[in-house]
Amino acid sequence: MSKINLSGIWKLSCDKEGFSPIEANVPGDNASALLRAGLIPDPNVGLNEHEVQWIGRYNWRWERRFTVDREFLNAERIWLNLDSVDTAADIFLNGRKIASSEDMFLRLRVEVKPFLQEGENTIAVAITAPQTYIDRISETFTYHPPRREGNGSFFYGRNYIRKIQCQGGWDWGVSLVLSGIYGEICLENSSGTRLEYVRTEQFHSAGRCNVTVTAEIDALAAGTVPVTFAFNGETRRVDAALTAGKNEVSADFEVGNPKLWYPAGYGEQPLYPLTVTADGMTLSKRIGLRDMQTVSEKDEYGVCLKFRVNGIDVFAKGADWIPMDSRPETYTRARYDALLSDAVEANMNCLRVWGGGLYENEDFYDLCDEKGILIWQDMMLACAVYPDSDNFLALIRAEVIHQVKRLRDHACIALWCGDNECAQFVPREHENVRKVVCYDRVNQAIRHAVFAADRTRLFWPTSPCNTQDDFTDQDTESQGDMHYWRVWHGGRSVDAYYEITPRFCSEFGYQAFPSQNTVDFYVGENGRNVTSPVMELHQKNNAGNSKIVEMFTRYFRLPAGFEDFIYLSQVQQAMAIRTGVEFWRTLKPVCMGTIYWQLNDNWPVASWSSLDYFGNWKQLHYHAKRFYAPVIGTIVPRENKLEFRVSSDVGSRVCGTMTVFAVRIADGCRVKRLSLPVDLPPYGAALLRQLPAEEWIADPTQEFLLWELEVSGDGKSYTHRGDRFLTEYKHCELPKAKITHRLSRTEDGKFLLELETDKPVFYLFAEFRKIQATFSDNSFALLPGEICRLTFRTGAEVSLEELEQALVIRDLRSSYDC
Ligand code: BMA
């Protein structure tokens, strides 16, 4: 077998009048090519989004030449492999149409031997404007579910095309309807067989794991072909008697004393290399051995939903993942790595790949395998009813089978989910039976496709839903997963999080602006005001900015200036999400997952993310690092009582103390102290004590609560510290503090920032103008007499002097009075 790689520089043309062809990268997208050629401005800056809307209106043609020699042509079979064409396209070899493609999530493999010639050849991929395709395919439907659109104007009916659904804009997303060719693009030949997929099945028993490896091989004709399987230091050769067409060839391995794979925080992530070779074609993977179950069953509280790995019920701590950029050409392993490392650094062990984006590439899942991040994998359908015509269903079926086959051996993948919130677009009352039927047909097609490719995992029909068979009333907290949006979208106050006991909260979020440096990147000199056109363009949720301001008026004194506004929005976001997570974590085993909306951004924007587009940590991400710590304490004020609660994800008994103080806001004096013994079983949670609130704090405008949790178990110690005000911050006279700092270098090449204060400060936050820095901790309360030492790393090389000049220290009081 040999390969001709067709990636590289292609010629890109467009039927827009006067457009002269440009060079484009393959893999790559047309927007990136246009940007490089200087034909569009950076859509991430200013009002430039308006300038890129034309791209989606035209047809694009990608072309290149390549040579093929006689030896390559002599092979029995030659096929063209295209991992992903975005989206509706006809593909030509030497001017003759060889295939068309309608689904960017479906790999295309076309036999092309008769179309090739010795010497020079041309390949062209002609991509139709999405709107043209949508209108065309729509004519083949007998039933037309309501067309859904993004924020942009040239993508009316996104649910009619198998393309990244958020490309036309989302309530956090830029509208950039682009096209492109992604993944691997090559010609391959062989003497007659093709190794299509490899799958593994694991059977765990005491001290042993039996692994069956199966190769899916496509053969041109019957015959015997040697297939080699190499795993765990052993090699098996099977002389497979193949029939023409699809074949499966298996080999069994037994791994004694397997080194098991665990989610982050629960153990190691050993990966066993596996290589399968057939007829010179090789597929390699790394396999994590683990007994993965997703449990959804009736119990005394309703119906649970939880991940059980190697017999341990894992509390899922994480966030929802969206595409990391609007331009797929920019998806590098390094960018995935940075975001996923930040997730793990914040003590996350789970991400939900949301259904409005894409099935990510191998690098993403590879890194999740390595880092121990459990993946809730949606199929790529979101917030719409999708067409149920035969041709459309066939596409979805093929897509799901391909993607599940491609990804199923990743240790990280915990569950397949049918879609994101599509059932919410079906009427609750059956006044529109056809729409219900339509949804059900699509959902059933996905279920059957998933099962055709993987029987080892639970299929969860949609997120959210109650059970595998119950789509009704998606806000049911006692069953399945829930998307709890009553605080942000519903405008409830933050303590509404205390009113529910979700079994698994797979979405709940609160918006904030991105980091000041990111805002400065897109806003320009004239836009430094929250209601400026550019700030409003970089806010995609209707009334999002009004919501942020309205919530300010409930909790805070209004910020003094533009930068205080940005800062305070992040305080508010962190406060909101921390309230929910800290409480829900202590409700386990009833609640077994908190996945907040959303981890990342696909352009610089105000959104629910905790990492902004450039990877800067918003205050929420620092809070996440603390509220997702292995052991946490919290104080929940409910019904005039204070509940002192703890939760542990440690696999051994942990014992110690949670010390609670009433602290005077004016000077930081600890005026009351309560010491609560903690003794938790492995993975335990408890309500330690409940006390009437007024017994503890007579005047909540004068004092706040501080807790310090210190426990140990299994030879390790764990600490967690937090604070809770029992009234809104705006009612309190926060003191004006003098904060002193010292910057230095640490021995291991990092930097150190030491901070002290003469009065209590809240949401103390350090950042650097124009310098990206990630701190060991940030956004917390600091009391007089304490020295806080923060280490940090910077994005680029900088000197101490530069850091000194660029340092900005903010806190709650100075946000309204500086
Ligand atoms: C959800 C998601 C997204 C959306 C988010 C914020 O429920 O599924 O569709 O971006 O809420 O509104």
Nearest CA to 612 out of 532, 537, 519, 485 is that of 519
pLDDT band at 725 (very low <50, low <70, confident <90, very high): very high
Give residue 663's identity as a one-letter amino acid code: V
Least trusted range by pLDDT, from 44-53, 429-438, 461-470, 524-533:
429-438
Backbone angles phi, psi at 702, to 5 degrees: -105, -25
Ligand 1 atom nearest to 383, measured from its CA: 9
DSSP conformation letters of 723-751: EE-SS-GGGS-PPP--EEEEEEE-TTS-E
Which H helix or E strand runs over 810? strand 807-810
Atom 6 of ligand 1: nearest residue by CA position: 171
- For residue 566, report the distance from its CA to the centre of ligand 1, in Å: 22
Residue 783 in tokens: 């009391």
What gap in Å lies between CA 526 and CA 516, rounded to an integer?
Answer: 15
- If one residue of 170, 174, 417, 507 were mutated to test the ligand 1 pocket, choosing by the most ligand atoms within 8 A of its CB, it would be 507
Residue 694: pLDDT band (50, 70, 90) is confident
- H or E element at residue 670: strand 670-680
Q: Which residues contact 550 (CB under 8 A, 6 or more apart)?
A: 491
Q: What is the mean pLDDT of residues 363-385?
A: 98
% the chain with pLDDT above 70: 99
Predicted confidence at residue 469, as pLDDT, reads: 85
Beta bridge partners of 320: 352
- For residue 473, the model assigns a pLDDT of 63
pLDDT, position 155: 76
Tokens of 253: 């391995």
pLDDT grade for 435, boundaries at 50, 70 and 90: confident
**Strand residue runs (E) in 147-233:** 180-190, 193-205, 208-219, 223-231
CA 432 to the chain's CA centroid: 34
What per-residue confidence (pLDDT) applies to 784? Answer: 98
Q: Where are the beta strands (DSSP E) in 49-170?
A: 60-68, 77-86, 89-93, 96-101, 108-111, 119-127
- At residue 153, the pLDDT reads 57
Q: Give the residue, by CA position, lying nearest to ligand 1 atom 10.
A: 171
Please say whether the dihedral angle defined by the alpha carbons of residues 101, 104, 105 and 109, taken in this order, is positive or negative: positive
Q: How far from 704 is each of 169, 671, 697, 698, 805, CA to CA, in Å? A: 43, 10, 8, 10, 34
269-316 pLDDT per residue, tens:
999 999 999 988 999 999 999 999 999 999 999 999 999 999 999 999
What pLDDT is recorded for position 818?
A: 61
Average pLDDT over residues 133-151: 93
Q: Are 399 and 446 in contact (CB under 8 A)?
A: no
The confidence score (pLDDT) of residue 504 equals 97
| Residues 78-127 pLDDT 10s | 999 999 999 999 999 999 999 999 999 999 999 999 999 999 999 999 99
Q: What Cα–Cα distance (Å) separates residue 129 from each residue in 37, 165, 185, 720, 752?
A: 21, 15, 22, 54, 53
Mean pLDDT, range 167-194, rounded to an integer: 96
Q: Which residue type sits at 669?
A: C
Read off the pLDDT of residues 785-810 as tens digits, 9 standing for 90 and up.
999 999 999 988 999 999 999 999 99
Measured from the Cα of 608, ligand 1's closest atom is 6
Sign of CA dihedral 406, 408, 409, 411: positive
Contact 453, 400 (CB under 8 A): yes
What's the first-to-final CA gap in the chain, in angstroms? 70
Helices and strands, number each (H, E), in the chain: 15, 45
pLDDT surpasses 70 at 431: no
Q: Among candidates 168, 166, 134, which has minimal Cα distance to 153?
A: 168
Question: For the chain, how big is the Rg over CA atoms in Å?
Answer: 28
Q: Taking a C-beta distance cutoff of 8 angstroms, is the pair 388, 143 a contact?
A: yes
**Closest C-alpha residue for ligand 1 atom 1:** 507
How remote is the CA of residue 598 from the centroid of ligand 1, in Å? 9
Sheet containing strand 316-321, edge to edge, reads 458-460, 413-417, 374-378, 350-353, 316-321, 593-596, 505-507, 482-483
Q: What is the pLDDT of residue 152?
A: 64
Mean predicted lDDT score pLDDT of the chain = 96
Q: Is the confidence at residue 525, as pLDDT, over 90?
A: no
Nearest atom in ligand 1 to 421's CA: 8
Pocket residue to mutate for ligand 1, from 320, 354, 379, most atoms within 8 A of Cβ: 354
Q: Closest Cα to atom 3, ligand 1: which residue?
A: 171
Q: Ligand 1, residue 356: give the atom nearest the CA.
A: 9
- Mean pLDDT of the 194-223 span: 97
> Three-state SS for 802?
helix
| CA 171 to ligand 1: nearest atom | 10
Does the pLDDT value for residue 456 go beyond 70?
Answer: yes
Q: Which residues line ligand 1 (CB under 6 A)?
A: 170-172, 383, 420-421, 483, 507, 597
Residue 149's pLDDT is 87
Nearest to 203 by CA among 291, 262, 268: 291
**Contact between residue 55 and residue 39 where contact means Cβ atoms under 8 Å apart:** no
φ and ψ of 452, to 5 deg: -65, -30
Q: How confident is the model at residue 565 (pLDDT cuts 50, 70, 90)?
A: very high
Q: Between the CA of residue 195 and those of 138, 192, 219, 282, 589, what are the distances in Å? A: 36, 10, 9, 7, 44
Which of the four pLDDT bands, split at 50, 70 and 90, describes residue 735? very high
> Pairing mode, if any, of strands 108-111 and 77-86?
antiparallel
Average pLDDT over residues 379-389: 97
Residue with tokens 């909790």: 555
pLDDT in tens, 40-56: 999 999 999 999 999 99
Mean pLDDT of 250-276: 98
Query: What is the model's pLDDT at position 326?
Result: 98
pTM: 0.97
Among 597, 598, 605, which residue has the most ligand 1 atoms within 8 Å of its CB, making it the best to mutate? 597
| Ligand 1 centroid from CA 608, angstroms | 9
Ligand 1 atom 4: the closest Cα is on which residue? 171
Pocket test for ligand 1, best of 149, 171, 422 (most atoms within 8 A of CB): 171
Asked if 55 and 177 count as a contact pair (C-beta separation under 8 A), the reply is yes
How far apart, in whole angstroms, are the C-alpha atoms of residue 90 and residue 60?
11
- The helix or strand, by DSSP H or E, that contains position 717, with its residue range, turns out to be strand 716-724
Which of 12, 111, 122, 3 lies closest to 67 in space, CA to CA?
A: 122
User: Does residue 421 come out as left (phi exceeding 0), alpha (psi in the -120 to 50 range) or beta?
Assistant: left
What is the average pLDDT across 724-752?
Answer: 95
